[in-house]
Structure 1
Amino acid sequence: MAPDVFAPARLGPVTLRNRTIKAATFEGRTPDGQVTDALVDYHLAVARGGLGLTTVAYLAVAPEGRTHREQIVVGPATQAGLARLADAVHATGAKIAGQVGHAGPVANGRSNGVHALSASRMPSPLSMQLVRSASEADLTRTTRAYVDTARTLVGAGFDVLELHMAHSYLVSSFLAPGLNRRKDRWGGSLENRSRLARQVARAVKDEVGDEVAVTAKVSVSDGFRGGVSTDESLETTALLEADGHLDALQLSGGSSLMNPMYLFRGEAPVAEFAASMPLPVRLGMRTPVGRRFLKEYAFQEAYFWDKALRFRERLALPLTLLGGINRLETMERAMAHGFDFVAMGRALLREPDLVDQLAAGRRTGGACIHCNRCMPTIYSGTRCVVLDPA
């Protein structure tokens, strides 16, 4: 019998009140890199709306690991604010996760004031700088930073740590053969390219043990030539499962650097994105190359379904299904096919109380139309512009 999506469930050592998760989407509410009342309110809205677990995005392990300077770097200077956020969410009965990561080549080095890192040297379309190839010292330092971040978040009261291993961020850049051209022990074979992912997972789990759940966001496919393929991701996640350092995987896809719409699907808000960008980027987006960056994919609910089923067939780890989930029928189908949790993003942005409405039988689906005009608002406070045209 399939589990009830609205019944309590275990995620590693943590019990969630139900199987629904707010997917990590940058909130745009930390202009000074600190927790604000607006960020607390953002997560309180979905927590009060019945969600099982809300995920704070994006929590950087190092200054050069931010996508841009407005993001939180986890450390002593931000711990008190993070603890205040966790306490507020816990008061509603929900649990809180922190998406922990290093943006790698997706980071804007000019905004951050420090050059970005990647598996291999490459030009950055974001900063118009060269992204540095991470050295052995960089990788040692970064792995240590993951551990320190994990310890800080545990001290702040977080329940789940989601390690970001997708979207062409640092770990993902090592996994993608087109971005990783290294000739050392970090490049070449899949075993070498997956070394950083496995090292980070092991180091974090060794530090926190069963104090919190440790999960990872992984790609079912990056959606570009030279990116992480489904076949290779299946092999990488099998290695991660065999290592035994993760409590669950969240199945995502696409590349923030090369093909972001592969993750979101639906309409591509080219004009709105261009309007939110600095002038050089705005002009670049008007070129044929810029327009191709935001490819348009037809929206279909649970659009990672077919690829995600391959992971369900291969792995025993608990899996979270993600990808435009909007309806109760889809959630129940996910449970019936062996998925353990469902993650939502845009649907909850439109209706923070959607989970309560579905659980009470007042609704069978959400109102999100997947126009994606919410995407450019990450620079001014992520929101549904259908509800708030301003």
Structure 2
Amino acid sequence: MAGRQQRPRGVRPHVTGRPGDRDVQCSASSAPGCYITMPMASIQAFSPAALGPLTLKNRFIKAATFEGVMPRGQVSPALVDFHAEVARGGAAMTTVAYCAVSPGGRVHRDTVVLDAERARQLRALTDAVHAEGALACAQIGHAGLVANTVSNRAPTLAPSTRLSAPAMGVVRAATAHQLDGVVDDFGAAAAHAVDAGFDAIEIHMGHGYLLSSFFSPNLNRRTDRYGGDTARRAELARRVAERVRRTVGDTVAVTAKFNMDDGVRRGFWLTDSLPTARLLEADGHLDALQLTGGSSLANPMYYFRGDVPLDEFIASQPRAVGLGLRLIGKRMFREYPFTEAFFAPQARQFRAALSMPLILLGGINRMDTVTAALDDGFAFVAMARALLREPDLVNRFREKTATEGLCVHCQKCMPTVYSGTHCVVRSGEPVNLSGLAMS
């Protein structure tokens, strides 16, 4: 199994490679906006690589995708099996999606809160992943405006007072004292992640969740230390990263899932996100950034791309919510054609501006895309839907029995988060959650 290696804090592994000197013609499935540049010497996708104190056996990470198998926030055997299968399929590390740092920070009641009891339950998951030769990462976060307060039966927080559809009402601006508590909650969750046996912690700084919403000039209208210019809007995220690092030291890797842009008018854009990333890099608390974009509040298809499964979403919801989706669904779920590595144009600007390791995310389905990303200087690639369709795709790439995944980007896996996230092409049967909570 790949393991930990110690290095001085703040010393980054050198990543070679920048856009190269010969272009590869894009396939029809890649164009338009294709991202493939091939230098003459390729970095090997299956060579080990450093991530903070860790050595990953290859460059493939399973990105966090909400698994939908945590009834009332309990860790289930289905959750363990989900990640063990990905580990068995060849990924170097698999990420458990969205472990809330507090009850009010859950997306809804079927979200894990990373406390001492859940840490004990999650040990079965990390043990299973390690037994398959992979590493395990816990994504931790606070949902903020994305939290369903009715389901959670707990209030949530926002940078500024505003109406939130998921909260089904007005969310009040967090006080400075409440934000101190959020920082404490992230530190406590990080400690529990270490106790659970996780090798890495990913701080959620994207998709309109709490830390991401503080970045946004559209959502953050504060005039105190947490609002105003780019640096002040980054203050909460920087405090969280510092607390998590101080809590865990060099025992695990610490990364962040970071929004490059929200895909929303007057939202977080590269003019703010690039300087924010430079601040996070200069602080030295993070081992890598996984680059993403979009808003769960206003533009979720921005980070999915491809077909919009609106009918399936409507069918998966209670009747009243389904009726609402019929009225506003086409405005909320905008269509973005799928292109291979769709976040690469923005991500390459981050690669040019930063020296820290970066993880490329977003529609990576082909082996030549992986090779090109590594040649372009990205340390790792993160894959999600491709591994829902084929959990063993990394092994098949390594064995050269496949050069492209079978995911067709229909996005019909998205509505299955309410019944156990799965590829409907691979298996149309929902996961039976009855009696699955682990003791």
1:340-355 paired onto structure 2 within 5 Å: 340-355=379-394
Contact 1:97 1:161 in 2 (8 A): yes
Residue 83 (structure 1) shift: 1.1
Distance 2:354 2:187 in 1: 26
State the match for 2:212 in structure 1: 172
Contact 1:115 1:132 in 2 (8 A): no
1:363 pairs, out of 402, 406, 409, with 402
State the match for 2:359 in structure 1: 320
How many residue pairs end up in the alignment? Answer: 389
State the match for 1:185 in structure 2: 225
1:387 matches 2:426: yes
Relative contact order, higher structure (CA 8 A, sep 6+) = 2
Which residue identity is paired with 1:242?
A
1:264 pairs, out of 289, 304, 307, with 304
1:1-390 paired onto structure 2 within 5 Å: 1-287=41-327, 289-390=328-429
Residue 387 (structure 1) shift: 1.9
Residue 389 (structure 1) shift: 2.7
Unaligned runs of 5+ in 1: none
Larger radius of gyration: 2
Residue 123 (structure 1) shift: 1.3
Distance 2:323 2:72 in 1: 27
Which residue identity is paired with 2:93?
L
Distance 1:206 1:9 in 2: 24
Contact 1:123 1:130 in 2 (8 A): yes
Q: Secondary structure at the match of 2:181?
A: helix
Contact 2:146 2:167 in 1 (8 A): no
Which residue identity is paired with 2:203?
L
Q: Secondary structure at the match of 1:21?
A: strand
1:210-233 Cα shifts (integer Å, max 9, x gaps): 100000000121100122102211
Residue 132 (structure 1) shift: 2.0
TM-score normalised according to structure 2 size:
0.87
State the match for 2:13 in structure 1: none
Q: CA RMSD in A?
A: 0.9
Distance 1:161 1:387 in 2: 30
Residue 127 (structure 1) shift: 3.4
Contact 1:179 1:226 in 2 (8 A): no
Which residue identity is paired with 1:134?
A
Residue 34 (structure 1) shift: 1.6
Which residue identity is paired with 1:357?
R
Residue 280 (structure 1) shift: 2.5
Q: Secondary structure at the match of 1:310?
A: helix
Q: Secondary structure at the match of 2:108?
A: coil
Which residue identity is paired with 1:338?
G
Distance 2:317 2:166 in 1: 10
Residue 311 (structure 1) shift: 0.2
Identity %: 54
Unaligned runs of 5+ in 2: 1-40, 430-439
